[in-house]
Amino acid sequence: MDTWSRFLDTFFKPELIRQYLPSIAAGTVTTIEIAFAIVVTGILLGLVLAVLRTFRILPVNMMLVACVDIMRALPPIVLVLLVYFGLPNIGINVPSFAVLWIVLSLVLAAFAEEILWAGILSVPKGQWESARSTGFGLFSTLIYIVLPQAVRLTVPPLTNRTLAITKNTALGTVIGVPEILNQATTGQSFSGNATPLMMGAIAYVILFIPVVALGRFLETRFRWSRA
């Protein structure tokens, strides 16, 4: 057998592709579902926290910054294991997909808060002042004047960060969430062949390359408009 066909046989074996396509597809659906849930809750929570921070209530902000920092400094897998093994021991049972969803939402919320807060800060003081002087309240100034400007500035970094965190859904495999990587490694150990793993990798690429491309597009677009 020549090298090429041996390569194909190791990573792209047709009958294994056929055999494992359904489970990889199911894993892909699971990954998409969890990723979607994480993006929605994570960014919303991050937005709420960033808005909360603009009220500048000292004890609240100190707590908030501390929590956000911890979420940014700890590896997500540490948090996943902490929650997954810790909660049942104190009598709280959470299904593993929910552990993944909650942990990664919190991590995304922390990063989103930080990015949005930087965006809010970048809006010049004059914008606040002119809005307040025309009778807008603090909250409506935020909603109508400041956030639209802040969001524009934060879209590219937020996109990239969201991508990086949703990719962490692969951590689900460690706690038995049947997402892509889990299906792929299971397939690999049953078939004794790297084809399922290759399929998993390809599934991720198909899933996330558009987001990478979107991030790249947004980066160049927003850079031009700033120049």
Partner 1 sequence: MEALLNQFFNLDIMARALPLVLTGLKQTLLLCIVVIPLGLAGGLLVALLSLVPWRVFRWATILAIDFFRAVPPLVLLIFVYSGLPFAGIRLTPLAAVAVAFLLNNSSYYGEVYRAGIESVGRGQWDAARSTGLTLTQTLRNVVLPQAIRNVLPDLISNTVEVVKLTSLASVIALPELLYSADMARSLTFNTSPIVLAAGFYLLMLWPLVRLVSRLERRIAS
DSSP 170: G
Using the minimum distance from each CB to partner 1, give the nearer residue, 59 or 91.
91
Alpha-helical runs (H) found in the chain: 3-11, 14-54, 58-73, 76-89, 96-122, 125-133, 138-140, 147-166, 180-191, 195-226
Cβ of residue 171: shortest distance to partner 1, in angstroms?
6
Interacting residue with partner 1 among 168, 178, 183, 199 (CB under 8 A): 168
Window 63-92: residues binding partner 1 (CB under 8 A): 69-70, 72-79, 81-82, 85-86, 89-91
Using the minimum distance from each CB to partner 1, give the nearer residue, 91 or 135.
91
Q: Given the structure tokens 């500035």, which residue do they identify?
A: 153
Query: 53-90 burial, b if ≥16 CB within 10 A, otherwise e?
Result: bbeeeeeeeeebeeebeebeeeebeebbbebbeeeeee
Per-residue tokens: 181: 């990587």
207 binds partner 1 per the rule CB under 8 A: yes
Q: Which listed range, 36-44, 52-60, 128-136, 189-197, lies at the site for partner 1 (CB under 8 A)?
A: 189-197
Which chain residues interact with partner 1 by CB under 8 A?
6-7, 10-11, 69-70, 72-79, 81-82, 85-86, 89-91, 114, 118, 121-122, 163-164, 167-171, 173-174, 180-181, 184-185, 188, 193-194, 197-198, 200-201, 204-205, 207-209, 211-213, 216, 219
